[in-house]
């Protein structure tokens, strides 16, 4: 039993896809979320800068004495997971491994689509994890750098003509490859799930990497004896590195509850 909070971070709103699932399956856990909204998007940055940001995000979350940290960001998981794990004496979870496991379980024809940020696709990390579990699977990967700014600007609703146009252009080769499973390799993309699902059609399974990671984290905390078994609902706090208004408004829509009273701005470069 461990009542300390779980830290969760992303470049912005995307990690809320993991946080929402963590809150759903472990309602008694305290969660501290950091969204680096002052420096989003991460996906077009170099490895050195990403490692620097990831260290600062982790140092900030460690000020809450968390029992574990969830990197709810495909970009950081694919480029800095090993660095953070080597430098921290608490469990650090990324999104790649659990997404590969879920994909191996779901695909029938072993043709898998993968979308993510430039940095994630460039890293090859998802392909390596898939190759270990599904040797010889055909992976069609596409970097989709315009999707994170669309989501951060609230352009993720079905019927949004800009979102629909961008998605159909990015996904055309993935659809043409005949995939039966599509990994949404960036945690922002599930906010576009309806638009992506409508384009790919009902026969393509979508793997939400934040959701899969949350389920993996629950199992790991159970195995390690780190779950909070105290009765009652956990507290959820949110921190951002830019002004709180836009984040609060979009997070409240996505999470289906008003979070504005729990969102605070911090100076991340101080960490
Ligand atoms: N949610 C982050 C990811 O999963 C977005 C990265 C970005 O800010 O470009 O990759």
**How would you write the pLDDT of the chain (271 residues) with one tens digit per residue?**
899 999 999 999 999 999 999 999 999 999 999 999 999 999 999 999 999 999 999 999 999 999 999 999 999 999 999 999 999 999 999 999 999 999 999 999 999 999 999 999 999 999 999 999 999 999 999 999 999 999 999 999 999 999 999 999 999 999 999 999 999 999 999 999 999 999 999 999 999 999 999 999 999 999 999 999 888 999 999 999 999 999 999 999 889 889 999 999 999 999 9
Is 151 close to ligand 1, i.e. is its CB under 6 Å away?
no
Cα 230 to averaged position of ligand 1 atoms, centre (Å): 33
Cα 229 to averaged position of ligand 1 atoms, centre (Å): 32
Catalytic site residue 73?
yes
**pLDDT value at residue 229:** 85
- 3-state SS, the chain, equals CCCCCEEEEECCCCCHHHHHHHHHHCCCCCEEEEECCCCCCCCCCCHHHHHHHHHHHHHHHHCCCCCEEEECCHHHHHHHHHHHHHHCCCCEECCHHHHHHHHHHHCCCCEEEEEECHHHHHHCHHHHHHHHHCCCCEEEEEECCCHHHHHHCCCCCCCCHHHHHHHHHHHHHHHHCCCCEEEECCCCHHHHHHHHHHHHCCCCEEEEHHHHHHHHHHHHHHHCCCCCCCCCCCCEEEEECCCHHHHHHHHHHHHCCCCHHHEEECCHHHC
Atom of ligand 1 nearest to the CA of 186: 4
Is 187 close to ligand 1, i.e. is its CB under 6 Å away?
yes
Atom of ligand 1 nearest to the CA of 74: 4
pTM, two decimal places: 0.96
Cα 39 to averaged position of ligand 1 atoms, centre (Å): 11
């Amino acid at each position: 039993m461990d009542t300390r909070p779980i830290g969760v971070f992303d470049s912005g709103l995307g990690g809320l896809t993991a946080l929402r699932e963590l809150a759903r399956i472990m309602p008694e856990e305290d969660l501290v979320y950091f969204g680096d909204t002052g420096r989003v998007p991460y996906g077009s940055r170099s490895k050195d800068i990403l490692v620097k940001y990831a260290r600062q995000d982790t140092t900030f979350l460690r000020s809450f004495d968390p029992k574990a940290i969830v990197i709810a960001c495909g970009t950081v998981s694919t480029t800095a997971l090993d660095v953070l794990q080597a430098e921290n004496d608490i469990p650090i979870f990324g999104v790649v491994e659990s997404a590969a496991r879920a994909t191996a379980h779901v695909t029938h024809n072993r043709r898998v689509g993968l979308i993510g940020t430039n940095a994630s696709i460039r890293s090859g990390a998802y392909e390596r994890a898939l190759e270990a579990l599904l040797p010889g699977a055909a992976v069609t990967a596409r970097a989709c750098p315009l999707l994170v700014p669309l989501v951060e600007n609230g352009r993720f609703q079905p019927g949004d003509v800009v979102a629909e146009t961008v998605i159909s252009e990015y996904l055309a080769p993935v659809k043409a490859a005949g995939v039966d499973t599509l990994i949404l390799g960036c945690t922002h993309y599930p906010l576009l799930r309806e638009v992506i699902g409508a384009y790919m059609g009902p026969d393509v399974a979508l793997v939400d990497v934040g959701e899969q990671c949350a389920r993996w984290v629950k199992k790991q905390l159970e195995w390690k004896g780190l779950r909070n078994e105290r009765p009652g609902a956990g507290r959820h706090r949110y921190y951002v590195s830019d002004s709180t208004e836009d984040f609060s408004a979009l997070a409240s829509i996505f999470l289906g509850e008003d979070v504005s009273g729990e969102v605070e701005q911090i100076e991340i470069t101080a960490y």
